Each structure stands twice: as structure tokens, then as C-alpha cells.
Amino acid sequence: MNDFARSANGREKWGAGSSVLRHRHDQAYAAIVLSGGYEESGSRGRFRVRPGDVLVHRAFDAHLNRFADNGAQLLNIVLPTPPPFALGQLSDTDAVVRTAERDPVAASLQLGEQLRETTHAAEDWPDILAADLIARPNTRLDVWARRHGLSPETISRGFRKLFGQTPAAFRSEVRAQRAFALLMGSAMTLGGIAAQSGFADQSHMTRATRALTGASPRFWRLKSIPFKKDRSSFA
């Protein structure tokens, strides 16, 4: 398995102007911003958050963080099943925080009941590129660059500066996340999942899934409950 960062319930405090290098968690969790603010660039785009915002991380999402001049205090809550969106707000943040102090599992359920999606606007071309690759992971980077009046070298260098990886690597992870979701939640064959996720072939998907999660697609299919009774769906 890969060396993943630990997902744990509890508070975190980050100093003014601090930063966290790109890392990956193997569990889903939500980060509630209690005070301060920061910028997060990761698998689901770039977000600038402030008190009251909640960032949702799926299992195997990666991100880096840059904290503002006043730092930030966060409350992390591990989630068994994350919502499909990345940014939200709670109807009663204080109630969730109080519950988390005595019962993190109950706080996770409470958060799931309260959390509502919020939108965020793209501010510059790296935001737009990330959103386009998430929506359409077969996007050709040279074509995208020409359409936006940029060179391929510019988008590679500028995107990597903000996200900690190249657009091509980001696109590959988007495909791998799609494949992982289908592995865990559909009855498609592995070949069908590879095609649906935008990979050239099944072996390409296998390499990308292993790079993302530390294990092969077959490993994850065996762990997926719907497929334990029907091994004929393996391909």
C-alpha cells in the first residue's frame, strides 16, 4: 500500500502563512473551518475557504494547503460515506462541533444531515482547467491551451505551481477516481469501467488505480459487497 496521510477526528491549528505539501488520505473526511482561512488545491479543484465552510474529501483525494496570514483552526470529522460535492456549509455548525467533542460518530451523522452544497466561482485559468478536466477527463491539453491563448508549457508550469502536479497527472487521477467509484458501486466489467473512465485499456486503468489507491482494481472489487456473490462480473 502507499504511504497515506492519517485521517483522524479532532481539531487542527495552523499558524499564519504556513503550508502543507501535497498529500493523500485513504479515508473520506470533512474539514470544518472554525476560524481563519486557507486555500486548498486538490483532486476536486481549488477552494478558498473561511469560517463556516466545510471541505469534503473523498477517500484517496490528494491536496495541498496554503494558510492565510491569520492561520486557521479546523475540525476534522471522518466520514463513512461522503456527499458527492466538495464544498458545503452547515445549518448549525456549533451543534456539530459540540457533538464531535463527545461522539465523533454521531457528529458524522449530524454533519451528513445538515450539510448543504455551496458553489464557488473560478477565478483564473488554473481553476477553469481543473474544472474542465474533472468534467471531461479526455480533454486534450494542447487543444485546451490553444483555445485559451496559452502555450502547453505555460499551463503545465502554472498548474503545477498551484496544484503540486501537472495537468496530465491531474487528469489521470480524475480518471482513476472515476474508475474507483465504478469499481465500488457498479456491476460493470473491468474492461467496461476502463472504457467508461477514459482509459486506453484495462491495463492502463489497473496502473492508474494502483497508483491512486495502492491496490489493484480486482482487490477493490473483492472488497465491494455487491460483487461478493457474483464473481462472474470479473473480467
Q: What is the pLDDT of residues 6-59, one digit of tens each?
A: 888 999 999 999 999 999 999 999 999 999 999 999 999 999 999 999 999 999
The pLDDT of residue 214 is above 50: yes
Phi–psi pair at 39, nearest 5 degrees: -110, 130
Residues of the chain with pLDDT > 70, as a percent, come to 94
pLDDT band at 173 (very low <50, low <70, confident <90, very high): very high
The pLDDT of residue 233 is above 80: no
pTM comes to 0.90
Of 127-131, 133-137, 212-216, 220-224, where does mean pLDDT reach its minimum?
220-224
Beta bridge partners of 67: 38
Average pLDDT rounded to a whole number, residues 180-209: 93
pLDDT for res 2: 67
User: Would you give the end-to-end CA distance of the chain in angstroms?
Assistant: 23
pLDDT band at 234 (very low <50, low <70, confident <90, very high): very low
- In order of their start, the domains of the chain are 10-117 (2.60.120.10), 125-233 (1.10.10.60)
Q: How many CB atoms lie within 10 A of CB 106?
A: 12
Q: Is 5 within 8 Å of 33 (Cβ atoms)?
A: no
Q: What is the pLDDT of residues 65-122, one digit of tens each?
A: 999 999 999 999 999 999 999 999 999 999 999 999 999 999 999 999 999 999 888 8
pLDDT for res 128: 97
